[in-house]
Amino acid sequence: MPKQHRASKVVWQSFAWPLAVQFALSAGIAAATPPMMKDAATHEQLALQLRKCQQEDPMDRLPHSRAEPPPKQAQDLLSQSDVLCFGGIATLVPKHAVLLLPKSMANRSKFTTGSTLMSWAEFYAKNRGWITTVEVTNEQAAGTQPLDAEVSHRLKDSIQVVVATYHGGPISVLSPKASAPAPSDPTEPSPSKH
C-alpha cells in the first residue's frame, strides 16, 4: 500500500472517532499533569492571620448600642387562628380564612373538648360535605384586589362554610383596602371657595 494512501486512511479514522472520545482523551491528557504541592500552614501563620482579621473587623469599630431591644410580642397560635371542629376532629386555619360561616354551622367554629387536632388537608378530606373552598390570588389575600364578582355571588348563596385557600392551603384574606382618591384632572378648573 502506498504511503500516501496509508496516511489518508489514518486521517480518516481519526475523524471517524466520535467527538466525545476525542474530548475525553484530551481531558485525560490535561488531567494527567501532577497537582501543585504546597506546604501546610503552620500554627504561627494561622495565628498571625487570625490577629489580622480581628484587628480589621469593622464591627469592632462601631459603638455598642445602648437602646433596649423592643419587647417581643407573644406568638400565640390560637389567637392567630380560627378553629373548625366537627365529629371529634378539629383543625386550625389562619384568622380571616373563613369567608363565610352560616348561622346554622356556628357551633363548628368552637373547639369541642376531647377532639383530635389534625392538619387542614386531613380535616378537609373528611369534611368536604359541609366545607367548600375558594382559591384566591396573593393580591386578593393581601387586600389589594377585591374578590371576583362570581365568588362574591357564590358566597351570598352558600349554605356551607367557605374557606379561602391559596395553592390548596388556607390563607387569611384581608378586607380590600379603600382605593385612594383619583388625582384630579389638571385641565379641569378647580372649584373656588366663596
Task: Confirm whether 34 is domain-assigned.
Answer: no
State how many domains the chain has. 1
Closest CA to 164 of 132, 139, 124: 132
Residue type for 164, please? A
Task: Confirm whether 7 is domain-assigned.
Answer: no
Task: Confirm whether 60 is domain-assigned.
Answer: no
Task: Confirm whether 166 is domain-assigned.
Answer: yes
Say which residues have a Cβ less than 8 Å from residue 176's Cβ, sequence separation at least 6: 143, 144, 145, 146
pLDDT in single tens digits along all 194 residues of the chain: 555 555 555 555 555 556 556 666 666 655 566 677 788 889 999 999 888 877 776 777 778 778 887 777 767 788 888 999 999 999 999 999 999 899 888 899 998 899 999 999 999 999 999 999 999 999 989 989 888 888 888 888 788 999 999 998 999 998 877 544 444 444 444 444 44
Report the alpha-carbon distance of residue 85 to residue 114 in Å, rounded: 11
Task: Confirm whether 27 is domain-assigned.
Answer: no
Task: Confirm whether 165 is domain-assigned.
Answer: yes
- For residue 184, what pLDDT is reported? 45
- For residue 124, what pLDDT is reported? 93
Question: How many C-beta atoms lie closer than 10 Å to residue 171's C-beta?
Answer: 20
Task: Confirm whether 46 is domain-assigned.
Answer: no
The parent domain of residue 102 ranges over 78-170
Report the alpha-carbon distance of residue 88 to residue 53 in Å, rounded: 61
